[in-house]
Chains A and B, each alone.
Chain A
Amino acid sequence: MSEYKSIHGAKVQTYSSNPANPILGQVWFNATSDTLRVQSQTTAGAWSTGGDLNTARSYLGGAGATKNAALAFGGGPPPAPSAKTITESYNGTAWTEVNDMNSKKAFVAGAGTYTSAIASGGDQYSGVSESWNGTNWTSIANEPSGKNAYGAAGADNTNALFFGGSPPSSETRYWNGSSWTALNNINTARAGIGGAGKTYTQALAAGGQSGSTRVAIVESFNGTNWTEVNDLNTARSYMGSTGTQTSALVYAGTIPGVTAVTEEWNGSNWTETTNVSTAREGGASAGANNTDALLSGGSPDTAATEEWTGAGASVTRTIDTD
C-alpha cells in the first residue's frame, strides 16, 4: 500500500486548528476536532447558515460587496410605527449592531458596501434617504419619486441607482453623492424588484409585482436605457438579489406565498439551483456575484442568515474515515 508521503511528497501535518490559508488539495489533521481535513472546491452552489441577526425583522435594507462584509438596516414589520432604525454589520461570522438610522424604515432599499452605502425609501411613500459612511447615517435629500420597495444597484454612497417602487412605479433615479437625477424609466412599472449591479451604468432589475401580480420580467440598464432580457423561471417579488449585470443571483421572495427558489444569472439566462433553507420574503441582500451572496432576515420575521457559495469556491471539508 502506498503511503501519502510517497504520493504527495510530504507528510500530513497536524494542526490544533485549520491552517489560515490552505492551498487547494492540501490535507491536514485537525487535532482539536480529531478529523482529517482537505481543502477542495465546491462542485455545486449551496446555502449554509450564517450568524443570526441580533434583531429579527423583515423588509429591511441590505448592502455589501461580499457575503463577508455586509450591512443590514431598518426593517419592519410595517407600517412605520413598528419599523426600526437598527443597523447591523456582518463580518462573515456574526452581526454587530452599529449606529442607528435617523428614521424608521421598512421596505427600504440599499446599495453600496458596508462602509459606504445609500438607503432609500420607507413604508410611508416618502422616499426618505440616508447615506452611510461606515460609521454614521446622514440624512440626504429625499428620493423625488417618494416611493418604497425600490430595486437598487450601485457601487457606494456616491453611485447608486433606485428603480421602480411601490405603488408600482417605473421611475429610475441616480444618486451621485449630492443630488438625485431622473433617468429613463424601466419598461414595466413594478414594486419589490430584485436589483443587481455594482455601478449605476450596469444594473439589472429582476421580477417584482404590479398590484398582486408577480412578474418574471428582467431588464438590463446601460446607464441610458432599460432593455428587456430573459425572464426569471419563477415570477416573484420582494426577493433577495445580488451580483452584477453578468453574474447575479436571485433568491427567496413571494410568488405569492414565500418561496425558497434560487436562480443564477450568467449574463444570458436564469438557471434554477439550490433552494434557501428558510423560505421568506423581504430579506436583506449582499454579495459579489452568482457565487457569493448573503440573505438575512425577512418575513415571516426571522433573524436567520444564509450564505451562498457557488460552484468552484475553495472550501474546507472533513474526510470521512469511517
Chain B
Amino acid sequence: MAHKTYQYCVAENWGKGFIEHGESSKLTFSSYPGNVWQVPAHNKHGNLWIAKVAGSVKTLAEAQTIVDAEVQAAQAVWDSLPDANKAPAVESNKRPTDITLEE
C-alpha cells in the first residue's frame, strides 16, 4: 500500500487566524479549488490544524472529485465566453487547467 504524503480536508478560509504564522512555520499548506486544503499526513500539527478549522477530512479521491467539479465549472464559464473575450489580450488570459492532487 502506498504511503500517504498528504491528507486533505475541506474548510472555509475565514481570513485572519485561519492559518497562523506558527502553524505555517511547521507545515506546508496548499489550497485548491472548492476549499480543499492539503497538509502533510501523519503529522501532529496538521491534525491539530484540521481540528482547529473544523475541516471535513476527505480521501484523495473525494478531494479530487471536489477539485475536478470546481475546475470543470470554471472551464464551462470560460467556454461560454464570446470569442472576443478569449482573445489573448495578455499572455495570461487562458482557460482554467485541470488539477491533479498528489497522494
Contact = CB atoms under 8 A, between A and B. Distances in A.
B83 to A, nearest CB: 12
Classify the secondary structure of B's interface with A.
Answer: loop
Contacts of A49: 13, 15-19
**A48, A50, A305, A317 pick with most chain B CB within 10 angstroms:** A48
Contacts of B17: 48-49
B24 interface: yes
A9 interface: no
A172 to B, nearest CB: 20
A44 B22 CA distance: 9
A212 B94 CA distance: 12
A123 B90 contact: yes
Interface size class of B (residues with CB under 8 A): 20 to 34
Nearest to A125: B89
A51 B31 contact: no
A192 B91 contact: yes
A149 B33 CA distance: 25
A149 B90 contact: yes
B80 interface: no
Given A59-B92, A191-B91, A315-B22, A93 B31 contact: no
Interface string B76-93: 000000001101011111
23 contacts: A42-B21, A44-B25, A46-B25, A47-B21, A48-B19, A49-B13, A49-B19, A59-B92, A81-B85, A107-B90, A124-B89, A125-B89, A166-B90, A192-B90, A192-B91, A192-B92, A209-B91, A212-B91, A275-B28, A277-B30, A278-B31, A279-B30, A309-B21
